[in-house]
Amino acid sequence: MSANKVWNECLQFIRENVPDEIFAAWFRPIKPVSLNGNVLTIEVPTNLYYEWIETHYIDLLRTALVKQLGKHAQLKYLVRMTNNPASRHKHLEYPGTMKPKVDTNNYAPPQSKDFKNPFVIPGVQKMRIDSQLNPNYTLENFVEGPNNRLAVNAGKAITKHWGNTSFNPLFIYGGVGLGKTHLANAIGIEVKRLHPDKNVLYVSTEKFTQQYTSSVVNKTRDDFIHFYQMIDVLIVDDVQFLAGKTGVQKIFFQIFNHLHQNKKQLIFTSDKAPVDMRDVEVRLLSRFKWGLAAELKAPDYETRKKIIRYKLEHDGVRMDDEVVDYIAHHVKSNVREIEGILNSMIAQAAFNHRKLDLNLAREIVANFVRNSKPIYTCDTIQRIVAEYFGLDVAALQSRSRRREVVQARQISMYLSKKYTDSSLDQIGTRIGKRNHATVIYALKTVRDLMDVDKHFRKTVLELENMLTGL
């Protein structure tokens, strides 16, 4: 038997027992070098491959090799050190048990890996992670109510029974300012408190994307993957920004699979439910639905009062019940807006010697609500417009030139520009991958028609009322 034949048989067995993406990333690059009796020598690209295989798949590799060479099979690694011209190879030798037995003539034992990742705390022998959690976002200062109780209870279950719940992943979604980031951070902090040996990491999708791009440029992609595969609780904020990033989605999918298969906890936040996400691979969306998708809704009246009282108590401020009731009754959108109004009132009282009374509350609330612009997403607007015209979102995003589809598409662009902070390019991308020139033309067309066509103007105003009444 040749080395190629033995290794190909091993690969066939391995391929049947690991996901395709794991096989492609970690086993396909390995090359057979030689077969001497029952000793197979294989070449791996870096020390990282040796460490990763030994950590995760040595039992599988042992089984595959024993099937081909018998119970006395041995494996020798040949690690190619391409950045060291003086020593092109280092040798690692393993007996039948496949526990390291070092060839001291050619090999120095591998040191702890120096991962090129800003989250690793330097100078520590055992890898420890800077969790990137915000210490101010705790469960103690997260106000629970009917609007968020499902997500909160799921988070508490995760912290108490780490690795033994069906809430994996926990997908927290909802509108702006409802506490998604706060709750996700709070769960991570509580896991660290109850399970100090676990590596917890919070990362925004933007930061994850930047790190991946940097790893590709610097040719440290394997280090990037390996680092994330060693996290016990991975919290990724704003996963909706994965949309349209094909390369990042593939790596994210690979990391997701590895962590999930090894019973690590995944927590994601998003401004939309998985079913409403666009330009994200179907296989990734399906995994978002594996655990629990919990929506955070706008707080009800009683919860808003609890939020106001907690904020006032935290800041050491007294406020009459009638003022609290007034704010809770008139500010309904989200927690962030409530906090903004309270901060404005406290600042006015401190700097302008005003009383925290009903008059000040009315003034601040009126100014705040009048000057604020409702915040929606392009996807939400497309869904509402499509339903109004009796279409589906796919029709809006298609290349159809039917009059009603074109009109609905142009109105969607117009409302997206008016009610979101998206750029022209972003709006065009979200509505069928069109360019900014198309969006500019749509905006002009809608404005012109509103000036001359009363029926068309009524249609747009009705849609605006539907939006502002959400």
User: CA-CA distance, 203 to 16, in Å (whole number)?
Assistant: 33
What strands lie across the sheet with 233-237, from one edge to the other?
200-204, 233-237, 265-270, 170-174, 292-296
Element (H, E) at 89: strand 89-94
pLDDT given for residue 118 in this prediction:
43
Is 279:378 a contact under the CB 8 Å cutoff? no
Distance, CA of 120 to chain centre: 19
pLDDT given for residue 49 in this prediction:
67
Neighbours of 350 (CB within 10 A): 10
Helix 378-388 vs helix 403-419: crossing angle, to nearest 10:
140
Instruction: Please name the CATH architecture into which domain 301-371 falls.
Output: Orthogonal Bundle (1.10)
In one-letter notation, the amino acid at residue 384 is I
Per-residue model confidence as pLDDT tens digits over 331-384: 877 787 888 888 888 888 777 778 888 888 888 887 766 544 455 788 889 999
Joined together, the tokens standing for residue 376 give: 């929606």
Is 268:236 a contact under the CB 8 Å cutoff? yes
Q: Which residues of the chain have pLDDT under 50?
A: 81-127, 371-373, 470
CATH for the stretch 149-296: 3.40.50.300
- Closest residue by Cα to residue 251 from 214, 276, 278: 214
pLDDT given for residue 62 in this prediction:
83
DSSP H helical segments within 332-435, as ranges? Answer: 335-351, 358-371, 378-388, 393-397, 403-419, 424-430
In one-letter notation, the amino acid at residue 217 is V
User: CA-CA distance, 55 to 331, in Å (whole number)?
Assistant: 53
pLDDT given for residue 114 in this prediction:
37
Q: Return the domain boundaries, the chain.
A: 3-94, 149-296, 301-371, 378-468
3-state secondary structure of 220: coil
The single-letter DSSP state of residue 114 is -
Terminal CA-CA length for the chain: 71
Neighbours of 135 (CB within 10 A): 8
DSSP string for residues in 24-56: IIIITT-EEEEEETTEEEEEESSHHHHHHHHHH
Q: Which CATH class is domain 378-468?
A: mainly alpha
pLDDT given for residue 55 in this prediction:
65
Q: Which CATH class is domain 3-94?
A: alpha beta
User: CA-CA distance, 287 to 68, in Å (whole number)?
Assistant: 36
Distance, CA of 377 to chain centre: 18
Residue carrying structure tokens 């809608």: 446
